[in-house]
Amino acid sequence: MSLASCGGGGGGNGNAPAPNNLVATPIYEVQGSGAESPLNGQAVVVEGVVTGDFQDGDGDDTRNLGGFYIQNLPDADFATSDGVFIFDDANPAVDVNEGDSVRVEGVVNEFFGETQISASSVTVNGVGGILPAPINLPALATTTNNDGDIIADLERYEGMLIRFPQTLTVSALHELERMGEVLLTQGGRPYQFTNRNAPDVAGYDAYREAVAARRILLDDGLRVANATPIRYLTAGAAPGYSIRVGDQVTDVTGVLRYSRGSGSNGTETYRLMPTSGPLFTSINPRPGAPGIGGALRVASFNVLNFFSGIDSGQPVCGPTTNANCRGADSAAELTRQLGKIVTALDMLDAHVVGLIELENNASESLQQIVDALNTRVGAGTYAYVDTGTIGNDAIKTGFVYKPVSVSLVGAAAILDSTVDSRFDDTRNRPALAQTFAQNSDNARVTIIVNHLKSKGSDCDAAGDPNLGDGQGNCNRTRSSAAAAMAGWVAADPTLSGDPDFLIIGDLNAYMLEDPITTLRTAGFTNLTEATIGPDTYSFVFDGQSGALDHALASASLAPQVAEALEWHINADEPPVLDYNLESGRDPDLFDSGTPYRASDHDPLIIGLDLTP
């Protein structure tokens, strides 16, 4: 549904004044003190000063909402707004400008929760001025939208010209392309509750309220989805700026609306429609090639569903060739995806890389990556561990390595339900272990790469519901897999004869959740927790950062770890920069020569100084 579907408005005789016997109703009476106007469905006349010009068809294509905002002097009631949106559709009879004093006749209605007036007559009577109301976050209260999400309660300011004098932090860019929105949060980058706190129902509930009160959506002021050019993508104060999570903006001014954004599919919440262009400050600049200590470099890299074939929409993937395919939808997308992955792997320059989200085929997905990588850096530089298919999922994990630096010791080993019934391989991807020997001195390390069950779908059928303590869906499924992995590692599954083990990969659990606690209790050291602390993160979800990707060292290996770091090339970048070409995306936004947004997870890199 578009704004035009709200009916009425537009096309009226803007030159004819409203009847003199109609006394203007104060805007605060139109808005009322509740979520819905007490005058909904009634004809009214209102007067005010234009504070935001978002008309269509007025020569300004950067702000098109099918109308404009007006505001008059406030009353003494803090609970009522003094501004309202005037809907005049795509071909307004009167072109207004900010600062115009207008008289409007029309019918009050509610559109996706925003009080509006569908104009039948607009008259410009002169000029005026309204100063923006300064608003500080966190909001005094929160409320719940129609989707059940907690949001800041800013009803008092709906339709008004407001200003956030505070410095706000970019916390999500997921909908920058589709909805033209940037999620801003007061008080710095927000983290997932269980990244810093032990799981707890009451604590999680309170945390959700606190985070919601700190948020506001910055909208592009357009009612079309996938608008081009994309506003805010390069809206920085410095040359060559590209927006990233963690960047900041100060003193943003605009009108506040309650909406689902571009159409009916966005988040229902309060959105700031800027009346002047905000400039972002690069607080979180893009990192260059990672420099890390240690003679042997090991990396964990989620490659975002790299499939060696094209997804034609047919269920022909996976070991049984009946699973839904993923990844590139065209040859052009596959070339772009592979180019980004190879650039990132080249810059990582690791001796061993555990890859996550590979197509689960015999060897084609790994072969494509290795071939493309060797074309870039030199023939024979990289090889892969040939495991064949692993389990029955559409995706698997795998290893690539530099044979000049390390050699394989024995065969790979796989942990699934046949090895330990606690490891549910219908939900978790099987764990893959391989022992590597450092060629210089034969020092050995066994690396286990993982991809445990995601939080995205439930495990209710397995008696493993979301308990509401911050750990999300399927926590017990992941915790049981972690316990099985700890026991499996203790039994030396590859028969390495060496106690040095490194568990890496996407465990789909934040720092203080049960699966990580299980491995920590079993004697493993969480390396990013030890070296980075509570600010560690590899993924951004729902505007909150957290570490889903981990590197855990056995007791004997921990003293041999020189350094561990997260390479923040993906999670902070807007998805519009990835390999996809859907929704009319400008293909020139993509640059295969940079690693940024090669995936949605950040790689982890561990530097080791192994002792024989």
- Kindly indicate the confidence band of residue 564, based on its pLDDT and cuts at 50, 70 and 90: very high
129 vs 263, higher pLDDT: 129
Residue 207: partners with Cβ closer than 8 Å, 6 or more residues away: 193, 197, 470
Task: Compute the half-sphere exposure of residue 249: CA atoms within 13 Å on the CB side of its CA.
Answer: 25
- Kindly indicate the confidence band of residue 15, based on its pLDDT and cuts at 50, 70 and 90: very low
Q: What is the pTM of this model?
A: 0.94
pLDDT more than 90, % of the chain: 91
Which tens digit of pLDDT belongs to each residue from 415-456? 999 999 999 999 999 999 999 999 999 999 999 999 999 999
Q: State which CATH number among 2.40.50.140, 1.10.1740.10, 2.160.10.10, 3.30.479.30 fits the domain covering 3-127.
A: 2.40.50.140
Domain with CATH 2.40.50.140 in the chain: 3-127
Residue 5: partners with Cβ closer than 8 Å, 6 or more residues away: none
Angle between helices 364-377 and 331-348 (to 10 degrees): 60
- Kindly indicate the confidence band of residue 463, based on its pLDDT and cuts at 50, 70 and 90: very high
Which tens digit of pLDDT belongs to each residue from 553-562? 999 999 999 9
Say if CB 449 and CB 430 are below 8 A apart. no
CATH of domain 299-608: 3.60.10.10
Give the pairing type, strands 83-87 and 67-71.
antiparallel
pLDDT of amino acid 21: 52
Which tens digit of pLDDT belongs to each residue from 368-421? 999 999 999 999 999 999 999 999 999 999 999 999 999 999 999 999 999 999
Which tens digit of pLDDT belongs to each residue from 299-332? 999 999 999 999 999 999 999 999 999 999 999 9
- Kindly indicate the confidence band of residue 38, based on its pLDDT and cuts at 50, 70 and 90: very high
Long-range CB pairs of 198-204 (<8 Å, 24+ gap) are: 198/512, 199/467, 199/469, 199/470, 199/471, 199/475, 199/512, 199/513, 199/514, 200/469, 200/470, 201/467, 201/468, 201/469, 203/470, 204/468, 204/469, 204/470
Which tens digit of pLDDT belongs to each residue from 186-230? 999 999 999 999 999 999 999 999 999 999 999 999 999 999 999
- Kindly indicate the confidence band of residue 264, based on its pLDDT and cuts at 50, 70 and 90: confident
CB neighbour class for 491 (10 Å; exposed up to 12, middle 13-18, buried from 19): exposed
Average pLDDT, the chain: 94
Domain with CATH 3.60.10.10 in the chain: 299-608
pLDDT of amino acid 14: 38
Which tens digit of pLDDT belongs to each residue from 52-106? 999 998 988 899 999 999 999 888 788 999 999 999 988 899 999 999 999 999 9
